[in-house]
Amino acid sequence: MKQLYITVLLVSLNVLAQKTPDELGRMAFKACAEKNEVAYSHLYPDKASFLAYVKSMDPAGILSKEELEEAYPSGFNRSVLSYTDLQEALDEMEIDLKKAVIKTIEVKDEDIDLGKEKPNLGVAKTKNITLHIAYKDEEYLFLLPNTIEVNGRWFISDASLEFAEAD
């Protein structure tokens, strides 16, 4: 019975997988609006997807096994901390995302040259997703920076979420 439950759960997650940057942006917005940290944390890649992504940037095997093992939990924790920081900022700004509306979603390439930090590493192919939000006659920008695509699914990264009034 336990195995059946796990199989159903995995199939359900695949069906609900974020297949485009727009879909990821909407799912992240919904999780933040509902103050659902668990739903938000599920937008971070699982360990296997994370390692597949990192290894695609490190074909020469420059990163040690220890670095790879440490990178996943620290990235996940930074992602959750970013969510928590965003919720605190929204509370301070007295913004209720449940009453906000997504007007448009903008997606831009934001590749990161990892060779600058560690020679012989490649480029991290990422996209910044900016949601243009309307709330109480004001326009805001909600940025999900450095989102990644792994095997046809889009994921948030450990980069800090940003929410600011539009110019």
Give the model confidence (pLDDT) of 81-105 as tens digits: 999 999 999 999 999 999 999 999 9
Cβ(128)–Cβ(144) below 8 Å? yes
In a domain, 96, yes or no: yes
In a domain, 8, yes or no: no
Q: 58 falls in which pLDDT band (50, 70, 90)?
A: confident
For residue 16, give every residue at least 6 positions away whose Cβ sits within 8 Å of its Cβ, in sequence order, or none.
none
In a domain, 7, yes or no: no
Task: List, in sequence order, the alpha helices (H) in 17-64.
Answer: 21-33, 37-41, 47-57
In a domain, 3, yes or no: no
CA 15 to chain centroid: 18
Output the pTM of the full model. Answer: 0.83
In a domain, 6, yes or no: no
Q: What is the pLDDT of residue 14?
A: 41
In a domain, 63, yes or no: yes
Q: How many domains are contained in the chain?
A: 1
In a domain, 62, yes or no: yes
In a domain, 150, yes or no: yes
Which domain, by its residues, includes 114?
A: 18-165
Token representation of residue 61: 């095997």
